[in-house]
Amino acid sequence: MTVEVRIPTILRPYTQGEKTVTGAGDSLGALLADLDSRHAGLRERLVEGDQLRRFVNVYLNDEDVRFLDGLATAVADGDAVTILPAVAGG
């Protein structure tokens, strides 16, 4: 099972400069733990306690996971996860 994860510029030091990495896991939390095993320190930048950090947005197939099940959101083969810092509009 493979899930593609898009990494923002600011976090690429953790992925050896890669824009996209792949990982496995049946939930978003498990996926981030799997990524952290190869990209040490990445998870800590995204997660605090059992929640996503305030200025981090994570989207599963373009939907904000905070409106799904957060870190418990189920992920499946072929899904795409996008990580972005929170920015202003207006």
Partner 1 sequence: MRFDSLLDSVGRTPLIGLPRLSPAADVRLWAKLEDRNPTGSVKDRAALAMIEAAERDGRLTSGCTILEPTSGNTGIALAMAARLKGYALICVMPENTSPERSQLLRMWGADIRYSAAAGGSNEAVRVAKALAAEHPEWVMLYQYGNPANAEAHYRGTGPELLADLPTITHFVAGLGTTGTLMGAGRYLREQVPGVQIVAAEPRYGELVYGLRNLDEGFVPELYDASVLTSRYSVGPRDAVRRMRELLEVEGIFAGISTGAILHAALGMAAKAVRAGERADIAFIVCDGGWKYLSTGAYEGTLDAAEDALDGQLWA
Contacts with partner 1 by CB under 8 A lie at 8-11, 45, 53-57, 59, 62-64, 66-67, 82, 84-90
CB 84, min distance to partner 1, A: 6
Give CA–CA dist 54/46, Å, rounded: 9
Buried b (16+ CB within 10 A) or exposed e, 20-35: ebebebeebbbbbebb
Which CB sits closer to partner 1, 16 or 86?
86
CB 26, min distance to partner 1, A: 22
CB 76, min distance to partner 1, A: 18
Give CA–CA dist 13/50, Å, rounded: 24
Which CB sits closer to partner 1, 24 or 64?
64
